[in-house]
Amino acid sequence: MTPIPTLIVPTPEDKEVHKKFMRAALDMAETALRTDEVPVGCVFVHDGQIIGRGMNDTNRSLCGTRHAEFIAIESILRSHPAEIFSETDLYVTVEPCVMCASALRQLRIRRVFFGCLNDRFGGCGGVLKIHEGPGTDPRYPCYGGINHDEAIMLLRRFYIQENERAPQPLAKKSRTLKTEVLPFGEGFPRDRNFGNKKREMVKSVEDALAMQQLELSNGVPTPSPSTAPTSLKAAGEVHA
């Protein structure tokens, strides 16, 4: 079974401080869930203070690029110079996707902390390692597993509910919410064949972005058993 990326560390220093800021990111994700968005939230922290907050807005805006990180970045740039990101940390409930991981590197983000892995579009080790790959912009460290269980449960709650904004909403009344959560990184990816196939198909940033775009319908994510993260469905955690 493919191991999790070695640079993803579940217990970084000052764990309680990190949990406090991740709690703020989870609050944003909860708000996203209540508005039928994929529950991903984030906060940017500079000098111990939150300077920007964001949550997914892809469904409402009908734009597949309106991820939590981009929402927060836009708000920060309205009142701060871009140079502030080199002294700023990101706390986000789910590992940044390839698109967001690339943007964070171009902004020269200092560090990234996330809750759970993104084994479909992860850009910080889940699929590609944008944060540490070759490039002209500085690499940045990533740490995962902070409030991991809560981040996973938010995603599960989303994938069992009906998405009224989807072009063809699926009836999901028979699905049940599973509460058992494996420790961070255990069994990642759960499906050996899927993991190998995914990594054979994704050989570049362009490949990953193309696959991510294919799973958007008119810019609106349409969660289903085929689009739920494999770490959720392979263990029977999302039931049709």
Contact call for residues 177 and 189 (beta carbons, < 8 A): no
Give the tokens for residue 235: 């263990």
- φ, ψ (nearest 5 deg) of residue 143: -130, 130
Pairwise CA distance, residues 209 & 202, whole Å: 9
Please pick, among 13, 30, 69, 87, the residue that the annotation labels catalytic: 69
* β-bridge mates for residue 89, sequence order: 45, 111
Greatest Cα-to-Cα distance within the chain, rounded to the nearest angstrom: 50
Residue with tokens 């789910």: 94
Beta partners for residue 29, in sequence order:
none
187 φ/ψ sector (left φ>0, alpha ψ -120 to 50, else beta): left
**β-bridge pairing 88-94 and 111-116:** parallel
Respond yes or no: is residue 69 known to be catalytic.
yes
The amino acid at residue 23 is R
CB 138 within 8 A of CB 164: no
Among all residues, which ones are annotated catalytic? 69
